[in-house]
Amino acid sequence: SAWRTIRCAFPENNCSSRILTTTRIITVAKYCCSPHHDHVYELKPLDAAHSKSLFFNRIFGSEDRCPLHLKEVSNGILKKCGGLPLAIITVASLLLTKVITKEEWEKMLKSIGSALEKYTDMEEMKKILLLSYNDLPYHLKTCLLYLGVFPEDYEIKRDRLIRRWIAEGFITTEGGKGMEEIGECYFNELINRSMIQPVGTQYDGRADACRVHDMILDLIISKSVEENFLTLCGDENHKLVQQDKVRRLSINYHARDDIIVPTNMIVSNVRSLTIFGYAENMPGLSNFLLLRVLDLENRVVLEYNYLRHIGRLSQLRYLRLSSRRITALPEQIGDLQNLQTLDLRWTRIKRLPQSIVLLRRLTCLLVNSLELPEGIGNMQALQELSEIEINCHTSVSSLLELGKLT
């Protein structure tokens, strides 16, 4: 039905323009290129040679470096993967976390099942992904499930994700490392296990962001339903069983702007609220007094008025606002004594309220070329501050106070 509407915009001619549509559903593929069904390209599974190449390159760097005593069992593993690239990469990534012995590889062979050989049952693919999920340590399972709050194909920034993990209490300090450093280790471990896909690798080899493969997202959301970990509103592809008590709520108004949070849904215990887009019937912040994480992403419409009760959220640790309509913060922001991260980069706020310096636990303040507030020396927990503009109006005392922020 979507394509039926879209195609009206395109003239039928021979000017060499092309539209490439990808889908998992063969009937959709045929409909989109009707009446020329010969234009449907069905992606075939990898042949034996390419399967081996992908598998051994992931584990050993090249096929030649595979020990002889593992050749036979690896052939069995690859046969059960059925030429599915995601299955091969997932199994190889899981084997990388094990001791490289024939016994460990044979355990893996027995765990996979055999239906994938026919390349017909995607449930078997999910079983392979479930193997990888079950092998994760508890803390990584929690961090992975948390990715379900973001929409399908969404580019999730590394630092934003780690700061949210910290605010949720998923990361504990160990061995003298800071929470951000430990969080980045978690992020990299999920990449190494092929549970998330790296995006935007920087000059130092660090991934700037990640995406979640559709099938991994399906797994995340099914496990989240099972454990009442999060609740989604607006995602047509993933209809969650409604839970009475909600822990983490993600609302996607980009998908549907007529979403209404059910009246029988108990939101008073919600710890995390993430909203994409805007609608007039958005739930009021006064209903979420136990929030630790508030992430509002709407580039155009969301207004200052929505924040009028922000000072009541005394448990808030992470606040991110992304709306060009927001030009100021209420003075009550100073009441958020537990706030650790304040991200205002995508707003048009020109000046921070004076009460900002009362946030004694704030470790990260991200703004868009604002002046230093008077009394910034009081913010002793501050570790990251950007971007601050120094100009002829900046007071000398504010600059001197920067020296107190050890």
Q: What is the pLDDT of residue 305?
A: 80
pLDDT (average), residues 315-336: 93
Reported confidence tier of residue 239, pLDDT bands at 50, 70, 90: low
Residues 6 or more apart in contact with residue 367 via CB below 8 angstroms? 344, 345, 349, 352, 386, 387, 388
Helix (H) or strand (E) holding 49: helix 48-60
**Residue whose tokens read 């020396």:** 377
Q: What is the pLDDT of residue 311?
A: 92
Closest CA to 76 of 124, 121, 114: 114
Task: Specify whether the CB–CB gap between 251 and 169 falls below 8 A.
Answer: no
Q: Is the pLDDT confidence value at 17 over 90?
A: no
Q: Is-cis flag, bond preceding 35, omega within 30?
A: yes
**Rounded CA separation 381/362 (Å):** 6
Q: Is the pLDDT confidence value at 216 over 80?
A: yes
Name the DSSP class of 266. B
Q: What is the pLDDT of residue 340?
A: 97
Highest mean pLDDT of the ranges 120-134, 205-219, 358-372: 358-372
Reported confidence tier of residue 12, pLDDT bands at 50, 70, 90: confident
| Residue 148, burial from CB neighbour count under 10 angstroms (0-12, 13-18, 19+) | buried
Highest mean pLDDT of the ranges 105-109, 171-175, 379-383: 379-383
Cβ atoms within 10 Å of 193's Cβ, excluding its own: 20
Percentage with pLDDT > 90 across the chain: 38
**Rounded CA separation 263/166 (Å):** 31
- Collapsing DSSP states into helix, strand and coil, what is residue 133? helix
Q: What is the pLDDT of residue 235?
A: 66
Q: Is 277 left (phi over 0), alpha (psi -120 to 50) or beta?
A: left
- Collapsing DSSP states into helix, strand and coil, what is residue 287? helix
Task: Specify whether the CB–CB gap between 374 and 398 falls below 8 A.
Answer: yes
Task: Specify whether the CB–CB gap between 208 and 202 falls below 8 A.
Answer: yes
Q: Is the pLDDT confidence value at 115 over 50?
A: no
Q: What does the pLDDT look like over 51-96, one tens digit per residue? A: 999 999 999 988 888 888 888 999 988 887 878 888 888 888 888 8
C-alpha distances in Å from residue 69, one per residue of 48, 73, 232: 19, 8, 48
What angle do the packed helices 71-81 and 48-60 form, to 10 degrees?
A: 120
The pTM assigned to this predicted structure is 0.79
Q: What is the pLDDT of residue 36?
A: 61
Q: Which residues of 290-308 are buried (b: 16+ CB within 10 A; e: fewer)?
A: ebbbbbbbbeeebebebbe
- Collapsing DSSP states into helix, strand and coil, what is residue 69? helix
Q: What is the pLDDT of residue 114?
A: 46
Name the DSSP class of 10. S
Helix (H) or strand (E) holding 248: strand 248-252
Q: What is the pLDDT of residue 290?
A: 93
pLDDT (average), residues 374-382: 92
Reported confidence tier of residue 213, pLDDT bands at 50, 70, 90: confident
Q: What is the pLDDT of residue 40?
A: 84
Q: Dihedrals φ, ψ of 88, to 5°?
A: -65, -50
Name the residue with higher pLDDT: 163 or 258.
163
Beta strand segments in 25-71, E: none
Reported confidence tier of residue 120, pLDDT bands at 50, 70, 90: very low
Q: Which residues of 14-23 are buried (b: 16+ CB within 10 A; e: fewer)?
A: eeeeeeeeee
pLDDT (average), residues 20-36: 76
Q: Is the pLDDT confidence value at 122 over 80?
A: no
Q: What does the pLDDT look like over 259-316, one tens digit per residue? A: 877 777 888 889 999 999 887 788 888 889 999 999 999 876 777 788 888 999 999 9
Closest CA to 140 of 57, 80, 223: 223
- Collapsing DSSP states into helix, strand and coil, what is residue 225? helix
